[in-house]
Amino acid sequence: MIALQYSLLFTSIYDDIERDDIMTDSIRELTLLQPDDWHIHLRDGKALSTTVPHAANSFNRVICMPNLVPPVKNADEALAYRTRILAHLQASDLNAERKTAFDPRMTLYLTDNTTALDIETAAKSGIVQAVKLYPAGATTNSSDGVTNINACVDVFEALEKYNLPLLLHGEVTQDHVDIFDREKRFLDEVLGQIIAKFPTLKIVMEHITTSDAADFVLAQGNHIAATITPQHLMFNRNHMLVGGIKPHFYCLPILKRESHQKVLLDVATSGNPKFFLGTDSAPHATDKKEAACGCAGCYSAETALPLYATAFDSVGKIDKLEGFASRFGAQFYGLPLNESKITLVNTPMQVPASYPYFDGGSLTPLMAGETLPWSIKA
């Protein structure tokens, strides 16, 4: 195992922000409606004993990604996965209130063999919240993903009919396309066509990373939305590459230029309901991240709210966090707002260097060992 020793030197997301524009001193404590995470990877099996309590400690509803091995392809498999998640929740040390509030919402993995009947059954199940499209080979465990968008017409029509949102990993996967251009190419070559052919289909562009994606979402109707991760708000590709490669910053879609990061911060903190919280928290054992395989994913489930608070406060918009974290996602999905609350305080916390993981391994979180200015009030 490689012992990583580095400092993020994270004092502010923008070095050129005038401190007169920052409201840090005016808000020292912030109480929010309990947030939801509209994009999370909990994994399966023994991993759930770590990931489920971390997520349930801060979030009520979480949309669970279906890219397991094998993937979650129908309502029966979604129900079985949810049952496994809840079993680990009950076995955890969380208090009764958190156990009762936690509601894992399931997704189906769209494949070339998904049928309209699969969509109908999922929509009527009461537990499937959306369907996830991974272009084949786009990210972790995506080899079963869609190879031909044009063959999904019946599925897209069924999604429209049953008002079930389509969640997109928005990247093309052709080998000749530069990895930093894959999101924009997806917008130009794929997503525009889907929207034109299925004009009422609800779509979430997951974990957007570019100004192109932000502008695209802004130009569409209210049925098109996007999630944004903490790492894409707080960091850019310089943080990952300058001074040596930092594998715990490596995720897909990959971090982009600072100019894209700034636009993402602008839209996330704007109060526009098209943009809401989705951590894309994705656990990989430390020895798998710090290895030649370069597993893609940043783990942020336990510290997500202090991370987002730090990002919002860096541009003087901490007052906009509740909409992004607690309101806009629920409104998009047509779900009631949570009634419970959580309080953030402007008191520093140190991100753990690692967490114990299954089979004696460890799990390294985003910003491991670093100090954040915001923390969750006990």
Report whether 41 belongs to an annotated binding site: yes
Report whether 182 belongs to an annotated binding site: no
Tokens at residue 298, please?
A: 């940043």
Report whether 372 belongs to an annotated binding site: no
Report whether 88 belongs to an annotated binding site: no
Q: Which residue has the tokens 């009030």?
A: 377
Geometric angle at alpha carbon 34, from 33 and 39, rounded to 5°: 125
H helices, E strands: number in the chain? 15, 15
- Give φ, ψ of 329 to 5 degrees: -65, -45
Report whether 191 belongs to an annotated binding site: no
Catalytic-role residue among 212, 280, 319, 359: 280
Tokens at residue 140, please?
A: 């972790």
Report whether 132 belongs to an annotated binding site: yes
- Distance between first and last Cα of the chain: 34
Antiparallel, parallel or unpaired: β 355-356 and 349-350: unpaired
Distance CA 139, CA 179 (A): 12
Residue 199, preceding bond cis, omega within 30 degrees? no
280 a catalytic residue:
yes
The closest alpha carbon to 370, from 316, 306, 319, belongs to 306
Report whether 169 belongs to an annotated binding site: yes
Report whether 215 belongs to an annotated binding site: no
Report whether 284 belongs to an annotated binding site: yes
Report whether 94 belongs to an annotated binding site: no
Binding site listing for Zn(2+):
39, 41, 132, 169, 207, 280
Annotated active-site positions, please?
280
List binding-site positions: 39, 41-43, 67, 132, 169, 207, 252, 280, 284, 296
Binding-site annotation: residue ranges for substrate = 41-43, 67, 169, 252, 284, 296
